Amino acid sequence: MDHETGDRSIKGGEDSLFRHLAPDTPEVKKIKSLQGIEYEYAEHIGITEYSIARHFCEADRKIKDRDAVSALKNIRKNDNKDFSFFKQDLEKEIVKNLIELLNEKPVTHHELKLVIDYVLEIIENRSWMEDEQAYIKWVAYVMNLFTEEENEEYEKSIKQLAAKLGLSDKHAELILMKGDEEDYFEFVEEYGEENEVEERDEREELTEEEMMAEVESRFLSMEDPEKFDFLLENGPEFYELTGLYISELSENGEFGKIQELYTKLTEKYDDFIYLYVFMGATYLEMDPALAKSYFEQALRTLDKLNDLSDSTKERLRANFLALIEKIN
What are the domain boundaries of the chain? 11-201, 222-327
The CATH number of domain 222-327, selected from 1.10.10, 2.40.30, 1.25.40, 3.40.630: 1.25.40
Highest mean pLDDT out of 166-175, 183-192, 245-254: 245-254
Q: How would you label 246-282 residue by residue, b for 16+ Cβ within 10 Å and e otherwise?
A: beebbeeeeeebbeebbeebeeeeeebbbbbbbbbbb
pTM for the model: 0.53
Nearest Cα residue to 94 out of 144, 110, 78? 78
Per-residue pLDDT for 235 more than 70?
Answer: yes
Average pLDDT of the residues in 200-213? 53
Report the C-alpha gap between 265 and 272 in whole angstroms. 8
- pLDDT of residue 39 exceeding 90: no
pLDDT at residue 195 greater than cutoff 70? no
Length of the chain: 328
Residue pair 276/294 in contact (Cβ under 8 Å)? The answer is: yes
CA distance 39 to 35: 9
Output the pLDDT for position 2.
Answer: 34
Rounded mean pLDDT, 203-225: 69
The average confidence (pLDDT) of the chain is: 81
Give percent of the chain with pLDDT exceeding 70.
Answer: 81
pLDDT at 210: 65
| pLDDT range class, residue 207, cuts 50, 70, 90 | low
